[in-house]
Amino acid sequence: MKLVKILARWVRGHRRTLPSARQRARYFRRAGCFRRAQAGNVLVTLLISAPPALAARTDVVVIANGDHFTGEVKSLDRARLRLKTDDAGDVYIEWNKIRHVEASAQFDVETVSGHHVMGSLRSTEQDGRLHIVGAEDSTALGFESVVRMTPLHATFWGKVDGSLDAGSTFALANHLVQLNVAVNAKYRQRKFSVGTDLNTTLVHQDSVTDTRRLTLGLSYARYFENRWQTQSETRLERNDQLGLELRVSADAGIARHLLQSNTTLFDAGAELSVNQEQQTDGGTVYNLEAIFLTTFSTFVYDSPKVNVDTYLRFYPSLSDWGRLRLEASAVAKREIVKDFFLGLNAVESYDNQPPKGVTNHDWNVYLSIGWTF
């Protein structure tokens, strides 16, 4: 009983220090406001520090029929403007159908004459011209005179283009199987580009030795004004039909875009090549060759969308007078769905002085399914 009285006196003595119900309610209201304020500050901080990938894409493209597209202008090549959108991903718009472009990023804009202008993009539907706004001045160009636009600050993968093609043939009568694969990719900067390509063919037939054709190359090009460029290349080659076990070559030379427009590209050049050949009969040959080369491309994007690319190389020997080699290829591609193409491919190799007992030329024609990236 005495203990109970002592506890009662202790509670009465400390009752003043306990907060009242009103004080407790005021405290919790203030704590709730503080937490909400903290949450708001965190949200604002997150929005401010959001990565560029989450930033709004505000570039604007208007085409001839009045349709507006909003996104991020990525590049222009082969008469197609690449626009990255939030909803549809990458959209490709034909350049000759565009009437207005506005993009805040900095671009290297190349004209049909090979002249380069750098700046952001502005245009007005009134004058029908593209204005490249630089740090100090602005340059106005006709849309038809612009053939290429490359972003100055794009990511590595944003500057890579290429394709992958594969085809197969099977003949039941003689159990012949042929597999063809072609891959190429190019990384392009304002002043240079680096490319690689792989082309391989394997032919298998019962009771017959398999034959292989392989080309693997790595190239570098340096660009100059007035459409000139220097270029170099290393290449590995094999062709069983021509009696070639392995050829290792290194080439260097110059080339020029003789014609570049929004429908056609035509290049020509000359190089010197040193190579070593290991032939199927066991012989080894060292060569010094000249190279005369030409490439031609044309592209049409009105339905159906068709690309045609050809190249031709002549190799007159400088160390073995009278020897002449030739490499040629042509491919026609038609788009079947976005970024996927049906291709008709043709290749030809010729050597007027092959090893004894083998043919002097090898050709191949095949259909393929391809993907561009």
If asked whether residues 165 and 83 sit together in one domain, one would say: no
Dist. CA 90–CA 148, nearest whole Å = 18
Burial (CB count <10 Å: 0-12, 13-18, 19+), residue 11: exposed
CATH of the domain at 198: 2.40.160.40
- Tens digits of residue pLDDT in 22-66: 554 554 445 444 444 444 444 444 334 444 444 457 899 999 888
Q: Is residue 14 part of a domain?
A: no
The reported pLDDT for the residue numbered 56 is 52
If asked whether residues 345 and 196 sit together in one domain, one would say: yes
pTM: 0.76
Q: Is residue 10 part of a domain?
A: no
Q: Is residue 11 part of a domain?
A: no
Q: Dihedral of CA 67/299/73/113: which sign?
A: negative
- Tens digits of residue pLDDT in 345-370: 999 999 999 988 889 999 999 999 99
If asked whether residues 129 and 166 sit together in one domain, one would say: no
Q: Which of 104, 131, 154 is the last residue of a domain?
A: 154
If asked whether residues 136 and 66 sit together in one domain, one would say: yes
Q: Which of 92, 127, 154 is the last residue of a domain?
A: 154
Q: Is residue 3 part of a domain?
A: no
Amino acid residing at 80: R
If asked whether residues 230 and 329 sit together in one domain, one would say: yes
If asked whether residues 141 and 267 sit together in one domain, one would say: no
Q: Is residue 126 part of a domain?
A: yes
Q: Cα-Cα-Cα-Cα dihedral of 227, 262, 306, 182, to 10°?
A: 30
If asked whether residues 85 and 213 sit together in one domain, one would say: no
The number of domains in the chain is 3
Q: Is 13 helix (H, G, I), strand (E, B) or coil?
A: helix
- Residue 83, CA distances (Å) to 88, 106, 146, 243 in order: 10, 15, 17, 48
The reported pLDDT for the residue numbered 7 is 44
Note the Cα 313 to chain centre separation in Å.
25
- Walk along the chain (373 residues) and give the pLDDT tens digit of each residue: 444 454 455 445 544 444 554 554 554 445 444 444 444 444 444 334 444 444 457 899 999 888 999 999 999 988 889 999 888 888 889 998 999 999 999 999 999 988 889 999 988 766 678 999 987 788 999 999 999 998 888 788 878 889 999 998 887 767 789 999 999 999 988 889 999 999 999 998 887 888 999 999 999 999 998 899 999 999 999 999 999 999 999 999 999 999 999 889 999 999 999 999 999 888 899 999 999 999 999 988 776 788 999 999 999 999 999 999 999 999 999 988 888 999 999 999 999 999 888 899 999 999 999 998 8
Q: Is residue 217 part of a domain?
A: yes
Determine the structural domain holding residue 363 and report its residue range.
158-372
Q: Which of 105, 134, 154 is the last residue of a domain?
A: 154
If asked whether residues 228 and 141 sit together in one domain, one would say: no
Instruction: With beta carbons less than 8 A apart as the criterion, state whether 367 and 344 touch.
Output: yes
Dist. CA 198–CA 102, nearest whole Å = 38
Burial (CB count <10 Å: 0-12, 13-18, 19+), residue 127: exposed
Instruction: With beta carbons less than 8 A apart as the criterion, state whether 349 and 315 touch.
Output: no
If asked whether residues 363 and 273 sit together in one domain, one would say: yes
Cβ atoms < 10 Å from Cβ of 44: 10
Amino acid residing at 355: P
If asked whether residues 147 and 126 sit together in one domain, one would say: yes
Q: Is residue 168 part of a domain?
A: yes
Q: What is the DSSP string of 132-188?
A: EE-SS-EEEEEGGGEEEEEETT--TGGGEEEEEEEEEEEETTTTEEEEEEEEEEEEE
Residues 6+ apart with CB under 8 A from 230: 221, 222, 224, 252, 253, 254, 255
If asked whether residues 170 and 75 sit together in one domain, one would say: no
Dist. CA 372–CA 90, nearest whole Å = 13
Q: Cα-Cα-Cα-Cα dihedral of 111, 116, 118, 123, to 10°?
A: -20
Give the H or E element holding residue 208.
Answer: strand 208-223
CA-angle at 93, arms to 225 and 63, nearest 5°: 105
Closest to 312 (Cα-Cα) out of 288, 333, 291, 298: 291
Q: Is residue 127 part of a domain?
A: yes
If asked whether residues 175 and 268 sit together in one domain, one would say: yes
